[in-house]
Structure 1
Amino acid sequence: MNSFAEHCGIHDEARRLALQQTEQLIAASGIELVRFAWCDLHGTLRGKTLVASAAAKAMLDGVGLVSTLLLKDSSDRTAFKVFEAGGTAELPGFEFASNLLLLADPASFKPLPWAAATGWVQGQPWMQDGSAVELDSRRILQRALARLAEAGYGMKCGLEIEFHIYRITGDSAQDQLDPEQAAWPGPPPKVAMIHPGYNLLSEQWFDMAEEPLRIVQHTAQALGLPLQSLEIELGPSQVEAVFDATDALTAADNMVLFRSAVRQALRRAGYHATFMCRPPFPNIMSSGWHLHQSLVDIHTGANLFQRDASAQGTQSTDAQYTLSEVGEHYLAGLLEHARGMTVFCTPTINGFGRFRPNALAPQSVLWGRDNRGAMLRVVGQAGDAATRIENRIGEPAANPYLYLASQIHAGLDGITRQLKAPVATDAPYGDAAVKIPTSLGEALDALQADSVLVDAFGSSFINYFMRIKQSEITRHEQAVDGDDWQRREYFSRI
């Protein structure tokens, strides 16, 4: 009898060999537990933990998951009425909290450096009939990359991730686990800073924060993540991690694993890491996720944004002074769909507080040549193999699969229509330009109005996404204390 993985059409010879090697590695390394993980709509890892002896069979036949995991808003409330007639009419297969099956990729196996005798594998959900779960965000990116490949392109991405680390204080850990204080969501931890801030790249502040940053370093490197540097950011208790560029799917996978791993490893050592854009304290500095991207030739790997010499007759403010024709079209596509893509780059209510003038965060739909105030920063020069576009609109809580997919669909539209970019800005905070949405609700409206992005993602996915994000907005509007709502909803959980 065929396994479920064979029924789904994914258990080829390469996967069979990877499963054999993973079985041997589990046995040889004394692994007792294996976590089967999957990334939900909000960029959070969920899954089940199996004993080691059950892991190999589960990688063939799947692990059962309740389908409502895909229907949760940011508080873990189910946004669809799955037990009412017609409650999931637009989502066949999700009625009555039915089952999905999680199939893990055996080649993704990693021992977890912070958890003794524990392994980890990454999976994706499938319907019980062996069809793909089209709402899965990783599959959304895979489809976007397939579309990109049909045009002859691959995508390369580098990650710059700002976030905050705090030391958990007093009896905070016990308070969070006090049954008398249990709530949905529960209280956040009480914390102290690891450095006082306002001294960018300070060696003294790095030394003060070295203990938690060493944990971040060792965790990332033990997981094989391409960490390049750890830095002290400007804000109090704010840090940044920078990663070498990889292919787009690997970059997205790395982002998901990095966030989950450092939060767990730091928590065990008495620290709280948060990827919330603006933690709930006075004088805080917002955190961004700056996404560096370029297209490459799918066959040779050559950077297709690079040009050997500036185009004839161009000035430094012209796109083709730095970028190839393909690069200019891609840049213009990002600008064309900037308002529609914003909600995939900044998907939380909290994140929109970052878009402020003169704050090294964008405010308008503009590009600039090495301009950190612009939404899109073109980095490099003619002859530079590292020429790329940096999107500065993202927050560190974003689902990376949706963030990257939005770039692909917007950029491809620019290439297909051969759009031209305007001249580079020299006033990124001026009044003349089109503004980035200033709230989650406005961003959702902008997405819905962008027919190109709706068609690219699929109207069924967009309707599903809108419904879940609207649940988040509604609950925030109904909250008695909006600040406390954000502390519980975001600071504790992301």
Structure 2
Amino acid sequence: MSSFAERCGIHDAAREQAVARVGRLLEAQGLELVRFAWCDLHGFQRGKTLVASAAAKAMREGVGMVSTLMLKDTSDRTAFKVFEPGGTASLPGFGFANNLLLLADPDSFRQLPWTPSTGWLRAQPYFEDGTPVELDTRRVLQRALAKLDAAGLAMKCGLEVEFHIYRIDDARPQLDPMEADWPGPPPAVSLVHPGYNLLAESWYDLAEEPLRIVQHTAQALGLPLLSLEVELGPSQVEAVFDATDAVTAADNMVLFRNAVKMALRRAGYHATFMCRPPFPNIMSSGWHLHQSLVDGRTGRNVFRREQPAPGTDGSHAGHTLSTLGEQYLAGLLAHARGMAVFCTPTANGFGRFRPNALAPQSVLWGRDNRGAMLRVVGACGDEGTRIENRIGEPAANPYLYLASQVHAGLDGIARGLKAPPATDAPYAGAGERLPTSLGEALAALESDAVLCEAFGRGFIDYFTRIKRSEQQRFDAAEDRDAFQRREYFARF
């Protein structure tokens, strides 16, 4: 009888060899547990932990997962009435908290560096009839990249991730059963550096202990970490990663966020990828996504231009970017408002879009301009020529963030769009404004027919319903700071 993985159409001789290889590694390294992890709509890792002897069978037959995990808002409340008639009518295959099955990729196996005798595998969900769950956000990105592949192109991404690390002063309020709530309270914390001294070596020295944990964790997991930096805000830091293909970049972001939070927590620190932690005098954190397209066969950067286009100067995109690169840039601009909720998906993150804050406020591009939404980096003949999108917050689901770039950019290419002149005054009031709230961003997405078609109306309806649950609770909160402390700071 065939295995579940075979019935799903993903198991062949090569995968069977990979499963056997993982089994040998578990035995050789004396591992006792294996975590089967999956990324949810909000970028959280969830999953189940199996004893090592059960891992090989689970890679062939799947691991059961309640389907409501795909229907949760950021508070972990189910946004669909799964036990009422018609409550999941818009979600074929879902209903009554039925079962899904996680199938792990054996090639994703890693040994976790912060916990003893434990392995880890990345998994994706399937229905019990063997069909893939298309609402899974990793599949959303895979479908977007398939469109690029059909055009002979691939995406390359580099990550710059700002976040905050705090020392936990007292974990008891968070773990006191008398304080338990839904969501629960955040930990009491203090700073690891006082801030307002950008890239100061003395501040780095103050924060070196937790940053060493970040370094060792990332490197032990095989992530392409390049640098760790002290950012401007109190307790704010940044991690920079080398460029990879798009799926690997998104996978790395999910793994990095969850891994450093767990590793730091064990050492008495609280890492948060919340954009604006709930304290006075903080600085917002961004996730700056560097992206380029490459020839799918040769790997050549197709944004690169050898000579400026005739009749152009520095204000023209064609002075640096190829024709295709300019079209891609123009597509990102054309769909900036619609894509915003995939790049900044929390009610908290929209507070970042303010003047003179090294964050965008309007739909503009600039040449090496960190106040613009899109920053063109590079020069003619430079293989590193790329576009940096500065709209993202570090809490974003990376699969959706990257997919939104692909769909917007491909539309610009398909329509042969031209970019407007570069800005040299990103906060002067020119340009269409980015959304200023989660509700406005959701409305902008729903009015963007191209993005709705590209993602699929079923996915858009699913996504917006869950995010509106979050937005409505935020709007109704009597104390929005308390809401954000529990909803975001304690978890993100």
* Paired residues for 1:237-316 under 5 Å: 237-316=235-314
Distance (whole Å) between structure 2 residues aligned to residue 79 and residue 374 of structure 1: 35
TM-score when normalising by structure 2: 1.00
| CA displacement at 1:63 relative to structure 2 | 0.2
Give secondary structure in 2 for the equivalent of 1:157: strand
Distance (whole Å) between structure 2 residues aligned to residue 482 and residue 416 of structure 1: 43
Distance (whole Å) between structure 2 residues aligned to residue 19 and residue 424 of structure 1: 51
| CA displacement at 1:6 relative to structure 2 | 0.4
* Paired residues for 1:394-405 under 5 Å: 394-405=392-403
Distance (whole Å) between structure 2 residues aligned to residue 364 and residue 258 of structure 1: 30
Residue 65, structure 1, aligned to residue 65, structure 2 = yes
Letter of the structure 2 residue corresponding to residue 44 of structure 1? F
Residue 152, structure 1, aligned to residue 152, structure 2 = yes
Q: Residues 8-38 of structure 1, C-alpha deviation per residue, up to 9 Å, x if partnerless? A: 0001232122111111111100110000000
| CA displacement at 1:482 relative to structure 2 | 1.1
Aligned to 1:106: 106
Residue 85, structure 1, aligned to residue 109, structure 2 = no
Residue 323, structure 1, aligned to residue 335, structure 2 = no
Give secondary structure in 2 for the equivalent of 1:389: strand
| More moved, 354-363 vs 426-435 | 426-435
Q: Residues 204-243 of structure 1, C-alpha deviation per residue, up to 9 Å, x if partnerless? A: 0000100000000000000000000000000000000000
Distance (whole Å) between structure 1 residues aligned to residue 12 and residue 155 of structure 2: 25
Letter of the structure 2 residue corresponding to residue 22 of structure 1? V
Aligned to 1:459: 457
Q: Which runs of 5+ in 2 are unaligned?
A: none
| CA displacement at 1:313 relative to structure 2 | 1.3
| CA displacement at 1:92 relative to structure 2 | 1.6
TM-score when normalising by structure 1: 0.99
Letter of the structure 2 residue corresponding to residue 259 of structure 1? R
Aligned to 2:212: 214
* Paired residues for 1:7-26 under 5 Å: 7-26=7-26
Aligned to 1:2: 2
* Paired residues for 1:128-147 under 5 Å: 128-147=128-147
Aligned to 1:432: 430
Q: Residues 405-437 of structure 1, C-alpha deviation per residue, up to 9 Å, x if partnerless? A: 000000000000010000100110111210000
Letter of the structure 1 residue corresponding to residue 471 of structure 2? I
Q: Residues 72-125 of structure 1, C-alpha deviation per residue, up to 9 Å, x if partnerless? A: 000000000000000000112111000000000011000000010000000000
Give secondary structure in 1 for the equivalent of 2:156: strand
Letter of the structure 1 residue corresponding to residue 180 of structure 2? A
Aligned to 1:373: 371
| CA displacement at 1:173 relative to structure 2 | 1.2
Give secondary structure in 1 for the equivalent of 2:50: strand
Letter of the structure 2 residue corresponding to residue 298 of structure 1? G
Residue 348, structure 1, aligned to residue 349, structure 2 = no
* Paired residues for 1:443-482 under 5 Å: 443-482=441-480
Aligned to 2:171: 173
Q: Which runs of 5+ in 1 are unaligned?
A: none
Distance (whole Å) between structure 2 residues aligned to residue 180 and residue 27 of structure 1: 43
| CA displacement at 1:459 relative to structure 2 | 0.2
Aligned to 1:189: 187
| CA displacement at 1:153 relative to structure 2 | 0.5
Distance (whole Å) between structure 2 residues aligned to residue 98 and residue 337 of structure 1: 36
Distance (whole Å) between structure 1 residues aligned to residue 265 and residue 335 of structure 2: 39
Distance (whole Å) between structure 1 residues aligned to residue 92 and residue 380 of structure 2: 51
Aligned to 2:419: 421
Distance (whole Å) between structure 2 residues aligned to residue 191 and residue 268 of structure 1: 14
| CA displacement at 1:475 relative to structure 2 | 1.0
Letter of the structure 2 residue corresponding to residue 197 of structure 1? G
Distance (whole Å) between structure 2 residues aligned to residue 314 and residue 17 of structure 1: 55
Aligned to 2:46: 46
Letter of the structure 2 residue corresponding to residue 157 of structure 1? C
Letter of the structure 1 residue corresponding to residue 488 of structure 2? Y
Give secondary structure in 1 for the equivalent of 2:20: helix
Distance (whole Å) between structure 2 residues aligned to residue 162 and residue 10 of structure 1: 36
Q: Residues 31-57 of structure 1, C-alpha deviation per residue, up to 9 Å, x if partnerless? A: 100000000000000000000000000
| CA displacement at 1:368 relative to structure 2 | 0.2
Give secondary structure in 2 for the equivalent of 1:329: helix
Distance (whole Å) between structure 1 residues aligned to residue 138 and residue 78 of structure 2: 20
Letter of the structure 2 residue corresponding to residue 14 of structure 1? A
Aligned pairs, number: 492
Letter of the structure 2 residue corresponding to residue 214 of structure 1? R
| More moved, 311-320 vs 275-284 | 311-320
Indicate which of 369, 383, 386 corresponds to 1:385: 383
Distance (whole Å) between structure 1 residues aligned to residue 240 and residue 18 of structure 2: 30
Aligned to 1:333: 331
Q: Residues 258-303 of structure 1, C-alpha deviation per residue, up to 9 Å, x if partnerless? A: 0000000000000000000000000000000000000000000000
Give secondary structure in 1 for the equivalent of 2:475: helix
* Paired residues for 1:475-490 under 5 Å: 475-490=473-488
Distance (whole Å) between structure 2 residues aligned to residue 225 and residue 380 of structure 1: 25
Letter of the structure 2 residue corresponding to residue 447 of structure 1? L
Distance (whole Å) between structure 2 residues aligned to residue 235 and residue 217 of structure 1: 20
Give secondary structure in 2 for the equivalent of 1:107: helix
Q: Residues 340-399 of structure 1, C-alpha deviation per residue, up to 9 Å, x if partnerless? A: 000000000000000010010000000000000000000000010000000000000000
Distance (whole Å) between structure 2 residues aligned to residue 2 and residue 449 of structure 1: 46
Q: Residues 147-194 of structure 1, C-alpha deviation per residue, up to 9 Å, x if partnerless? A: 11001100000000000000000xx21221111110000100000000
Aligned to 1:360: 358
| CA displacement at 1:479 relative to structure 2 | 1.8
Q: Residues 293-332 of structure 1, C-alpha deviation per residue, up to 9 Å, x if partnerless? A: 0000000000000011111111011001000011000000
Give secondary structure in 2 for the equivalent of 1:257: helix
